[in-house]
Amino acid sequence: MALSREALLGAVDVPTKTVDIPELGDSVIVRGMTGRERTIFEKKFVTERHGKTKRNFDAYREQICIFCCVEPRLTEADLERLSLVRADVIDRIATEAMKLSGITEKDVDELGQSSAPTTASSTTSSVSPTN
């Protein structure tokens, strides 16, 4: 039996996880992203100008920490200071946030690259969002 429409559209609770940071003697709480949040996050690293795609992954790990840290709550204003935090700590937080958000290294590698156009199956129908 296939997943019902209601069950799929009701899957709005994102996972959270406490990440131990033994180097600092405590932990942080991170959460996964929603589909919309992931799209917004990924758009930060890809720009298109004059038909050319440019990828810039400056502060990628720090940005995912900002997007996904629940406790402590981080903001864009913290980016500069966050970039000075030990790399092993940032990596541990970012790695868990990526897992919770379903982001793989392959996803990061493919971000901003052209993808082959997809075609709808003749047995499915497609409805465009109206937002």
Is residue 17 within 8 A of residue 96, CB to CB? The reply is yes
pLDDT over 70 (residue 122): no
| Domain range summary for the chain, segments of one domain joined by + | 13-106
Angstrom distance (rounded) from CA 88 to CA 32: 20
Q: What is the mean pLDDT of the chain?
A: 83
Please determine, looking at this structure, whether the domain spanning 13-106 carries the CATH number 3.30.830.10.
Answer: no
Q: Enumerate long-range contacts of 43-49, CB under 8 Å, 24 or more apart.
A: 45/111, 45/112, 46/111, 46/112
Q: Is the distance from CB of 32 to CB of 13 less than 8 angstroms?
A: no
The structure's pTM equals 0.74
pLDDT at 76 > cutoff 70: yes
Please state the rounded mean pLDDT for residues 56-64: 88
Share of the chain above pLDDT 90, in %: 56
Average pLDDT of 18-40?
A: 95
Q: Per-residue confidence at 57, pLDDT binned at 50, 70, 90?
A: confident
In this prediction, residues 1-16 reach a mean pLDDT of 91
